Amino acid sequence: MEIIATAIPDVFLFKPKVFGDERGYFMESFREQWLLERNVNVHFVQDNQSSSSKNVLRGLHYQLHKPQGKLVRVISGEVFDVAVDLRRSSPTFGKSVATILSAENKHIFWVPPGFAHGFLVLSDSAEFCYKCTEYYAPEFERSLLWNDPELNIEWPCSDENTLILSSKDRAGLLLANAEVYA
């Protein structure tokens, strides 16, 4: 397992060892020790999986109370994945980290509690899997506006009109108006 540092120290990218031959491949997609070695002691309570088509943008979501840490990966297709630091006391508050996750690269992205998370599907479709440290609590869910100029996220889309967003995501708040963590 290779652990790749990102511009935000609490966010990691894991590059698993993949063992393959003519039969296929094998890899570990989770090992608690990977996080413990980075001083991250979490307990996962829920696994989720979603399927989305090309140009679907989901996010940027977070739970104001009961914040979720997410260990995310793609098992089919390719996405552009983003984590935004919403911890006001953090030196990286309002900054983001983005990476490409795909079935081909098999990378795994750790998005800690206190971050907003979202992704854009780049392939014809994508299957997205993630482990959560808290249960989904819709009453606490919030959305940041995906294209907030203050966030300066360089989404890889040539035409914003082709993006497919839920009404909730279209109504996301600017960072300046959003409820955030202490």
Cβ atoms within 10 Å, residue 55: 17
Q: Any catalytic annotation for residue 130?
A: yes
Q: How many residues does the chain have?
A: 182
Catalytic residue, chosen from 61, 62, 107, 117, is 61
Q: Any catalytic annotation for residue 61?
A: yes
DSSP state of 66: S
Catalytic residue, chosen from 25, 107, 130, 136, is 130
Closest CA to 9 of 130, 109, 133, 92: 92
d(CA 73, CA 71): 7
Q: Please report, for residues 12, 129, 132, 161, the alpha-carbon distance to residue 77 in angstroms, rounded to integers and kept in the order given.
A: 21, 12, 21, 22
* Residue whose tokens read 């001083």: 39
Catalytic machinery residues: 61, 130
